[in-house]
Amino acid sequence: MAELYKGESINSDYCGRDILSVDQFDRRSVDMLFREVDATATLVETEGGTDLLRRKFIANIFFEPSTRTDFSFRFAALRHGASVEGPHGIQFSSVSKGESLQDTVRSFEQYADLTVIRHPQIGAVAVAAAVSEKPVINGGDGAGEHPTQALLDLYTIRRKLGAIDGKKITMIGDLKNGRTVHSLAKLLSLYDVEINYVSPQELQMPEEYVAALSARGVSQDSMRTLDGPLPETDVLYVTRVQGERFLDQAEYHRLKDIYRITPEVLEKAKSDMIVMHPLPRVGEIATEVDTDPRAAYFDQMKYGMYVRMGLLALVLGRSVLPPALQK
């Protein structure tokens, strides 16, 4: 079988590139994106948006439920003056008649300039990107990767804590099936960080990710409870137990409420720690935590829209920055 197409390295040239995996990024390409995102955020906060992508057309094709990724791409496009279309539920597209993913993507690229895809199978977005001549962005492929989420998570850490190097990050929950932690762990390995993995035995970070990070010299530790790492943690990254990925629903019900972050839990955390979550949450962070100044998960969503505005612009060959700063 041919090697799975994973997208080319960005190497500071986003124009026309597919965004499939965080493996495509290095520190320089992340810095370049974040410069674009910082400037974009200021423009949104002062003027509401820009006309940078006027007459650009984005197709959003989501084969799995989504609130944040689907709609933050939509609003990101709209705030740059672009238009977005896509099937409102896969039952209303020809996929329900048996059309292949490749044909679906090749159809949308006849209409649009860029396609965002979410799919339940690992690698499916890459398969679609391989047949598409226009850029494709991975909005999450099963339990595989979620590169744009990892970029927005990284941006949130930098924006809230001022830096990424030197930070201790603790990931808690379903580290086996959660694609956001897979992509984030790999992206963090470009920086000088320590990572703790808190999960039950059954939901541990897959060995391939641990090995990839070890090869890059990242200090990693794995444990069952939060008690040990919490007092030293700078970023607590909470995830949902991914019920849709379990073959055995009895096991899901046994594990789903295993961790819960409450105000009492946070008493033992640093006063300047941040609590992140890709959302949706289904009980793993108590709503009483929302008013704690350390709760970063709603700002994380807003930053997500800014990061996706930056990505859409760069991939479509545009920038809000003057040319001298576009490197």
Q: How far is the CB of 62 from ligand NCD (least distance, A)?
A: 10
Three-state SS string over the chain comes to CCCCCCCCCCCCCCCCCCECCHHHCCHHHHHHHHHHHHHHHHHHHHHCCCCCCCCCEEEEEECCCCCHHHHHHHHHHHHCCCEEECCCCHHHCHHHHCCCHHHHHHHHHHHCCEEEEEECCCCHHHHHHHHCCCCEEEEEECCCCCHHHHHHHHHHHHHHHCCCCCCEEEEECCCCCCHHHHHHHHHHCCCCCEEEEECCHHHCCCHHHHHHHHHCCCEEEEECCCCCCHHHCCEEEECCCCHHHCCCHHHHHHHCCCCCECHHHHCCCCCCCEEECCCCCCCCECHHHHHCCCECHHHHHHHHHHHHHHHHHHHCCCCCCCHHHCC
Nearer to ligand NCD, 113 or 141 (CB): 141
Residues in the interface with ligand NCD (CB under 6 A) total 11
Nearer to ligand NCD, 52 or 255 (CB): 255
The residue type at 25: F
Nearer to ligand NCD, 49 or 243 (CB): 243
Q: How far is the CB of 165 from ligand NCD (least distance, A)?
A: 25
Q: How far is the CB of 315 from ligand NCD (least distance, A)?
A: 19
| Binding of ligand NCD by 170 (CB under 6 A) | no
Nearer to ligand NCD, 32 or 143 (CB): 143
Q: How far is the CB of 264 from ligand NCD (least distance, A)?
A: 24
Q: How far is the CB of 219 from ligand NCD (least distance, A)?
A: 26
Q: Please give the residues from 54 up to 73 whose contact with ligand NCD meets the rule CB under 6 A.
A: 68-69
Show the binding pattern over residues 269-288: x = contacts ligand NCD (CB under 6 A), - = does not.
Answer: ---------xx---------
Q: Residues 60, 138, 156, 180: which binds ligand NCD (CB under 6 A)?
A: 180
Nearer to ligand NCD, 240 or 318 (CB): 240
Q: How far is the CB of 278 from ligand NCD (least distance, A)?
A: 4
Q: How far is the CB of 241 from ligand NCD (least distance, A)?
A: 9
Q: Please give the residues from 109 up to 148 whose contact with ligand NCD meets the rule CB under 6 A.
A: 140, 146
Torsion sign over Cα 136, 185, 30, 269: positive
Query: Applying CB under 6 A, which residues contact ligand NCD?
Result: 68-69, 140, 146, 149, 179-180, 240, 242, 278-279
